[in-house]
Amino acid sequence: MDPLEPPEHELLLVIDVQNDFCSGGALAVPDGDAVVPVIAATMIRFAHVAFTQDWHPPGHRSFASAHPGRSPYETVPFPYGEQTLWPDHCVQGTDGADFHPGLDPTRAELVIRKGFRPAIDSYSAFFENDRSTPTGLGGYLRERGIRRVVLCGLATDFCVAYSAIDARRQGFEAVVLLDACRAIDLGGSRAAALAAMREAGVVLRDAAR
């Protein structure tokens, strides 16, 4: 068997590769478009693929526009802890919330929509930012017999890292494909995220390995 062919207990989790996080988008991740061909080539090697999709209602509380006098990338206290305020992005039903056209979402057996609760942001594919409201992904993976989650997408230091660390906390093996991710890197957040993932037991490597 091809050593690159993942076994049946692996799933590729494609995190938030949406127009608003790519070039020209409302919250464009630097060089975000570069992940698209890498992910497209990687998807065909996996029997199981799932996507996550940021899916905010208009006026979401994590938007800076919902806090008069505040600017994007400031942090404010929320009931569940410090929350970064973002430009309006991935609003339900808009082009910005659509998946990048370079990826084929019909390859995904599951799409997890997150951030749709108006008062709670969501980085992780497993939990909302209150760290207690589950998305249902953990139960889905266990029922399907998935033991290893391979992650890629946007952004390394937020949704990818939170998802990878939560995968480990949920008892799954976790691998992050760094060449299929890009970071926002707010004040060294990329380096901090890589360190936190390593500490949690996440394997960091490139898709080509």
Extended beta strands in 16-165, E state: 49-54, 75-78, 81-84, 110-114, 148-154
- Residue 114 annotated as catalytic: yes
Q: How far is CA 45 from CA 10, 49, 123, 151, 152, in A?
A: 11, 10, 26, 14, 14
CA distance linking residue 172 with residue 142, whole number of Å: 9
CB 50 within 8 A of CB 13: yes
Candidates 33, 159, 166, 181; catalytic one:
159
Candidates 16, 20, 54, 166; catalytic one:
16
Candidates 22, 54, 114, 157; catalytic one:
114
CA distance linking residue 149 with residue 173, whole number of Å: 6
As given in the structure block, the two tokens for residue 55 are 């899916």
Query: Active-site residue numbers?
Result: 16, 114, 159
